[in-house]
Structure 1
Amino acid sequence: MIRRTGLRAALALSLALGPALPAGSEGRVLTPGQMRNLAAVALDARDPGTAMTLTSALLERDPEDVQALLIRSRAARDAGDYRLAEKTARQAWSLSQDDRTRHAASLAMAQALSSQGQRTRAQLWLRRAAQVAPSPAARAAAVRDFRYVRSRNRWSTQLQFNVAPKSNINNGSARSTFTEILFGREYELPLPGAAQALAGTELSVGVATRYRAAETTRRATDLTFSAGYTTYALTEGAKTLAPGAKGSDYALGTLTTGIAQKWLSKDGRTEYTLDGSVGRSWYSGDPYGNHVEAEAGVNRALDRKTRLSFTAKAEITRGPNAPHSDAVTLSAQLGRALEGGGQVSLWVSATESRSDVNVARFTNYAAGIQYAPDMKVLGASPRFGLGLRKRDYPVSSFAPGHRNDVEQSAWIDLTFREIDYFGFHPTVRVQASRSNSNINLFDIDRSGISFGIGSSY
């Protein structure tokens, strides 16, 4: 308090007397620039009151003095008047004529909002600050501030949007005929068009949000919610093949809510998770199924570059149209950062699904590898993947005996981080898969390209 009072007195004295004046001068008036400098000195000395007094005088002279508004916003924030801090920062933004002042105004808005506990809005303004940053260093500082505010925000929301032309939107057969055994003899019969692969464009949107209900240094409890909707637009060829089909016939909507618990070990190298959720789905606009899931996992840092995780999940599916089933999945994943840059990950999983419905009673085994080299492809950061899946059905409704499907898949993800707008960048996935079955009706080919948006930080 002595320091602030002394500064106020010194500033008041300098304003009243000023330095020694030349002979014949009757007085001296501080220029607006000098007043701004004195207000900035007051802020650095943690004296917001003096800064408020000086900026009031500046704004009486010129209500559109952007620098005075910026200084006043910070002074109001330091004084605990967050509404005034927000108001003056917004005024400064609306009056800004260049990226430097827009950047400063965006930071002032973010600080005012974060101080009020409105961290989600503060994150939006920090994205804006990064977008208009006048230099790489200023952008990096805004990104650091964004990550800090996000780490303290109880709310975290992710939006998803994809457009994906695909060769098989209905999981249809790659064949135009199928084999039927009648009276002990095999017959090759034509397959209806709606059961064959139909090409089209997938349109999907989604939102996932979580609220951190409780948190300590080693433990966190989250409440989660997600919603998604996917629909399709058929190609002209698909409409010709299946005249009665519409893209909305294959539309899928989902709603899920749950609770998630996380723990860290004392050494900080192991994370334990326990999640539970309930959800509902709609297919073609009609209620399809309800599900309950429980999942437990452990993720361990073996060293600075290697992580190993295990997950166990149980899922119960019921509902008006979905096959009733109880499924258990065990999975493991190993990820490693490579010496020369890049990352590689391997995973395996096994699922057993029990049901009175043949199509939902199966065992499933899957494995995959993903490699993200430290390189550029078409100006993007690539990630390559290969997958293999084997699914066995003990009974088939379409032929005597069991059904066995083997699927091979490959994909490449491209992340265009250099094309950045407000901290978001375009993403592209090119993928293809082929499934071969001992029942040729289930020979299925898929290919497609998906365009989406990802967050840069």
Structure 2
Amino acid sequence: MANLRGFFLGATQACFLALTALGANIPTEAQAQQGEQRLSREDARILASRLASEGRPSAAREIALGLLQADPGDISALLILSQAEKQLGNLDAAKTAIRTAWRVGETKRERFAAALTMADLHAAQEAYTRSQIWIRRAIQTAPDQQTEQVAITAFRRVRQENPLAVELSFGLNPSTNVNSGNSNQAISFAYLPGYLSEILWLVPADERPLSGLEISLQTDLRYRIAETATSQTSLEFGLYGRTYLMSDAARASAPEVTGASLSFAQVSLGILHQWHPSGADAPYSASLTYSHDWAGGSPYQYQLNGTLGTQFTLGNDDTLALSASIRYAHRFASDAEVFTYSLLGRWSRDLANDDKVGIIGQMAKATADATDLAYEEATLGVSYDFGALSVNSVSLGLDLSTSYTEKYRVYETSAYDPTGREDRISSLRFDVGLNNVDFYGFQPVVTLQARRTASSVERFDTDGVQIGVNLRSSF
């Protein structure tokens, strides 16, 4: 906390200096107190700023109040008054002065100084989340890259102090197949007896791919409840929802399928413990999460998931993350129970050109009494992060990452084939970050994803392409 206050003190003092040009002949406090000595407004601002920085807030406050009597919109005087009131312990009065400065500020530099000072005041009261909000305002109004970097550094330091971490994401994703519809116009059922197995059955319109716009919102909260030098425990809360706007073509072919009928929502609550044993090279984590899902507005299932993970740093700038999890799910409509066991490994390497390559592998097994729920699964994927793109050392203002995964899933039983079912799920994804577009520290990411499922049971063949825009924090 002391380091954080020291940082803000230096940052806010820099703001004052930016707004009060230092003159060659600045009167001393003794000269200012002489009746015959009259100060210009500029000299008075400089003197008040000096007094505040030297720890004489009462004198600085009196000069600032005098300046504000002459001009209630004097930004420099409001900033100095705020600093003096803070030193005197009058934090509410300090905030009042800064709110006025934020309201009347006209230039980016003035509003930047006001926002960063307000963030300092909230941090002094350990209201770290409010402090982060005001720092994002400072970033939005930063007059240049240097001051923007000052605010970003402040944000990161406040984030370390804040026991509450908040992540928000919002997405708009047009898709050719919002309902995971069957990609075939007609299908056959091999398990039917005799010639019936050769008959092609038309797929109903509402089970064919329908296009539309997916709208999603996700909020994740993490609150640190305990911390030592080697461990940390946090409570987690998550809220996710998505719905759809159907295209005109989808409404015409399947009017009974609506965005509400395809909607999905999830609420989750969990606990996370992270620790680094003394003498060990790798950190560990353990989590337990409960979630409740709704589909089409009706209760769908609840899940209980436990995960244990670790991460190793290898040679050649390699990292290896391993995790094991057990998940229990209860489906409300069928009363089915599913236990899923999985092992996951992620390897990544930082390359000499600052790119990053990664490989993911996963094995999973689900057990259930109901059909089409018990399966064995193997996943293999590769990813490549190109980082910031440039041509001849000239930045394009974009960053690019891509990934490709293959998932093989074998079901023990299927309602459409008594011998079971085999699925191959392929996915290709590109993420393009627009680095030159920034809104309060958030940048848009354009995502293009193609996904295809080839199944031994034609009923489960699907494919679709989705392109969308999501927001991510830029720091």
The alignment's TM-score, normalised by the length of structure 2, stands at: 0.88
Once structures 1 and 2 are overlaid, which stretch shifts more, 257-266 or 280-289? 257-266
- Show the 5 A alignment for 1:302-451: 302-303=314-315, 305-321=317-333, 323-376=336-389, 379-451=397-469
Q: Deviation at 1:65?
A: 1.8
Residue 227 (structure 2) pairs with residue 215 (structure 1): yes
Q: Secondary structure at the match of 2:42?
A: helix
The question of whether the paired residues in 2 share the 8 Å contact of 1:218 and 1:263 is answered with yes
- Show the counterpart of 1:199: 211
Letter of the structure 1 residue corresponding to residue 193 of structure 2: F
Partners in 2 of 1:134 and 1:340 — Cα distance? Answer: 32
- Show the counterpart of 2:33: 16
Residue 61 (structure 2) pairs with residue 52 (structure 1): yes
- Show the counterpart of 2:265: 253
- Show the 5 A alignment for 1:67-106: 67-106=76-115
- Show the counterpart of 2:11: none
Residue 202 (structure 2) pairs with residue 184 (structure 1): no
Q: Deviation at 1:79?
A: 2.7
Once structures 1 and 2 are overlaid, which stretch shifts more, 259-268 or 366-375? 259-268
Residue 131 (structure 2) pairs with residue 122 (structure 1): yes
- What CA deviation, in whole Å up to 9, does each residue of 1:381-417 have, x standing for no partner? 0101111000000111102312111122111001111
Q: 1:342 to 1:392 in 2, by over 3 A?
A: same
The question of whether the paired residues in 2 share the 8 Å contact of 1:405 and 1:438 is answered with yes
- What CA deviation, in whole Å up to 9, does each residue of 1:125-157 have, x standing for no partner? 111111211221111111100111111111111
Superposed CA RMSD in Å reads 1.9
The question of whether the paired residues in 2 share the 8 Å contact of 1:83 and 1:112 is answered with no
Once structures 1 and 2 are overlaid, which stretch shifts more, 266-275 or 379-388? 266-275
Partners in 2 of 1:264 and 1:105 — Cα distance? Answer: 40
Q: Deviation at 1:210?
A: 1.2
Q: Secondary structure at the match of 2:415?
A: coil
- Choose from 282, 298, 301 the match for 1:289: 301
Deviating beyond 6 angstroms after TM superposition, the runs of 4 or more aligned structure 1 residues are none
Letter of the structure 2 residue corresponding to residue 330 of structure 1: L
Q: Deviation at 1:170?
A: 1.6
Q: 1:327 to 1:258 in 2, by over 3 A?
A: same
Q: Deviation at 1:11?
A: 5.4
Partners in 1 of 2:404 and 2:150 — Cα distance? Answer: 38
Segments of structure 2 that go 5 or more residues without pairing to the other structure are: 1-26, 391-395
- Show the counterpart of 2:119: 110
Q: Deviation at 1:16?
A: 2.9
- Show the counterpart of 2:250: 238
> How many percent identity over aligned positions?
27
- Show the counterpart of 1:173: 182
Partners in 2 of 1:218 and 1:255 — Cα distance? Answer: 30
Segments of structure 1 that go 5 or more residues without pairing to the other structure are: 1-9, 19-26
Residue 144 (structure 2) pairs with residue 143 (structure 1): no
